[in-house]
Amino acid sequence: MAASSFCLQRFFHGGGLGSRGTTNEALCALVRRQSSLSSRHYCSKRVAACAAAAAKHRIYLRSPDLVASEYAELNLPHQVSEELGHIRIRQHVNPLSACFSMPVEVPDWNEVFRDPTLPLMVDIGSGSGRFLIWLAKRHPEVRNYLGLEIRQKLVNRADFWVKELALDNVHFLFANAMVSFNQLVSTYPGPLVLVSILCPDPHFKKRHHKRRVVQKPLVDSIIHNLMPGGQIFIQSDVLEVALDMRYQFDAEGDVLHHMDALDQSVLCDQEGWLLSSPMGIRTEREIHAEFEGARIYRRMYQKRIYN
């Protein structure tokens, strides 16, 4: 994931040079001073506060700074242990390669979660894990959260953060969701209430489309394992990828409703994309993409209660 850089001084005032090299900590401190946030408008207020603070203090803002400020309340340590090492993010991995073909061993859910009977949310392609950790911290004792991520180093670091924060309702597994999702969720003792697939790797080349995580077997498995009334949230900053996912879930109209058909407060544009995210915080990829001016295409489905 390339980090974007953006001169807010130029953005807000049409010219001039900002001072480079301001640390995330300083920026976060500025944001904290200037923002008192309600959870409903958490993202937009925090970002607006961050942007305003940066503009006022003539700071060059980069999208990692926004990630740091948006997740500042987690206080995640920047320095992780030496054995975790530096995490270099390779653009994409190939989930079809032989090294990712083995199903992951199912954990003892009693060891993984304090109460393994709680409703479960699964985030497929959980990336750094900050998003799920934020949800887990904000909603303790309501749900368990499971992140499936194909890059081991990201899982190691997310595990480290979970231990640091002493959270017992969130867990990350190094797993190829295309191979292991069904086995994992079908053995979980509680109900599966929410599956999110947020900004999955796009694999743009046509001959690589089969590497995209949302394929028919995964769709079938999600629907099969989801409890009646359970939900699926998908989003992408790449329209082609969003459409690809959407076609597959829209095609399951006999088992899935789109949320706007059930709840009038859920608003969509004319094409049926959600106008806002229901999650209360943006994922990292979402922050980077919006920073670069991209739009996020979102859909949210609910499994029918009576067929």
Report which secondary-structure segment, H or E, holds 187: helix 177-187
DSSP assignment of 66-94, as one string?
Answer: HHHHHTGGG---SSPPTTT------S---
Instruction: Select 202 or 230, whichever has its Cβ closest to ligand SAM.
Output: 202
Dist CA 284 CA 76 (whole Å): 14
Dist CA 22 CA 49 (whole Å): 16
Instruction: Select 30 or 289, whichever has its Cβ closest to ligand SAM.
Output: 289
Q: How far is the CB of 158 from ligand SAM (least distance, A)?
A: 10
Dist CA 26 CA 5 (whole Å): 17
Dist CA 69 CA 51 (whole Å): 11
Q: How far is the CB of 279 from ligand SAM (least distance, A)?
A: 10
State the catalytic residues.
201
Dist CA 46 CA 37 (whole Å): 7
| Interface contacts to ligand SAM, rule CB under 6 A | 93, 95, 124-127, 148-151, 154, 176-178, 198-201, 213, 283-286
Tokens 């480290």 identify what position?
A: 160
Q: How far is the CB of 289 from ligand SAM (least distance, A)?
A: 9
Q: How far is the CB of 71 from ligand SAM (least distance, A)?
A: 11
State the residue number with the nearest CB to ligand SAM: 125
Instruction: Select 22 or 283, whichever has its Cβ closest to ligand SAM.
Output: 283
Instruction: Select 125 or 230, whichever has its Cβ closest to ligand SAM.
Output: 125
